[in-house]
Homo-oligomer: A and B are copies of this chain.
Amino acid sequence: MKRITAYSLRAVLYFILIAPLLLFAAYAFSTRWFFPQPFPVEWTTITFLRAINDSRTLSSMAQGIWIAILVSVLSLMLALPAARVQGLREFRGRQLAWLLLFLPTIIPPLAIGMGLNILFLRIGLAGTIAGVVLAHIIPTLPYTIFTLSSAFARFDENYEFQALALGASPWQIFLKVTLRMMTPSLVVATLFAFLISWSQYLLTLLIGGGQIITLPILLFSAASGGNPSTIATLSLLFVAPPVMVIAFTARSLSQHDNEIREQY
């Protein structure tokens, strides 16, 4: 009984998650699909091929991936020391730290974007990739810090003490022990950072000021145009890199699965 409940719950969950994807595919590869037809009548790949042969599409994807990678690396570098303090140490004001950490998730991207835009215009970062990357770090950091600090909370420093007593230098300990022990959480944190940056629309638009074009921006302007096939095609392209990143993540996690289980 319990098992059946669990299975059907999961089935419903998967359906909710996959249904929109199928809808996109249907729109992307069909010409005319009107109410009340339950399924598309004519299938075609013309819109799809036109969209992926458009140089704007490909360059926007490349730029988006490049930005997402930079954001992932930078936010991990910032998050690691902060997460270590949050996860391992007891200190007064720890609650306040958490509160402040989540501020960026509640300030709407719009508000952050406009505030930053004013600031970046003054210091010459507006319209640059550097500016967009810095802006993306703001919504990214809370999630990376949160993920890593919950891993640090379960991390046992005695592993580091062992390595120290065996003669490893602090830098060797960091590379050969700490990073290795944290790998599963680092992978998940990278995933979060990549996904948040990749799907960022408003911050890119506001800080990029029309000079930095990523796929979400193309998608939005296509949405104003209103051709469902183009929108659906761009949406499918939009989903491709994240799916690959998630697939990679899932593989890494399953490789590390045994290690995690041994560790905790």
Which chain B residues border A228 with CB–CB below 8 Å? 114
Q: Which of A55-86 contact B (CB under 8 A)?
A: 78, 81-82, 85
Which chain B residues border A179 with CB–CB below 8 Å? none
Name which residue of chain B comes closest to A33, CB basis.
B118
Q: Which of A83-108 contact B (CB under 8 A)?
A: 85, 89, 95-108
Q: How distant is the Cα of A223 from the Cα of B35 in the complex, in angstroms?
A: 36
CB <8 Å contact, A199 and B16: no
CB <8 Å contact, A103 and B17: yes
Name which residue of chain B comes closest to A246, CB basis.
B99
Contact of A223 among B6, B102, B110 (CB under 8 A): B110
Which chain B residues border A46 with CB–CB below 8 Å? none
Given contacts A35-B122, A114-B231, contact A246 B9 (CB under 8 A): no
Q: Which of A25-72 contact B (CB under 8 A)?
A: 35-36
Contact of A10 among B20, B24, B85, B195 (CB under 8 A): B85
Interface status of A209 (Cβ within 8 A of chain B)? no
Contact of A108 among B89, B109, B116, B199 (CB under 8 A): B199
Name which residue of chain B comes closest to A81, CB basis.
B9
CB <8 Å contact, B16 and A138: yes
Interface status of A119 (Cβ within 8 A of chain B)? yes
CB <8 Å contact, A24 and B111: yes
Q: Which of A6, A24, A108 has the most CB of B within 10 A?
A: A108
CB <8 Å contact, B119 and A23: yes
Which chain B residues border A189 with CB–CB below 8 Å? none
Interface status of A115 (Cβ within 8 A of chain B)? yes
Q: Which of A214-256 contact B (CB under 8 A)?
A: 216, 219-220, 223, 228, 231-232, 235, 238-239, 242-243, 246-247, 249-251, 253-254
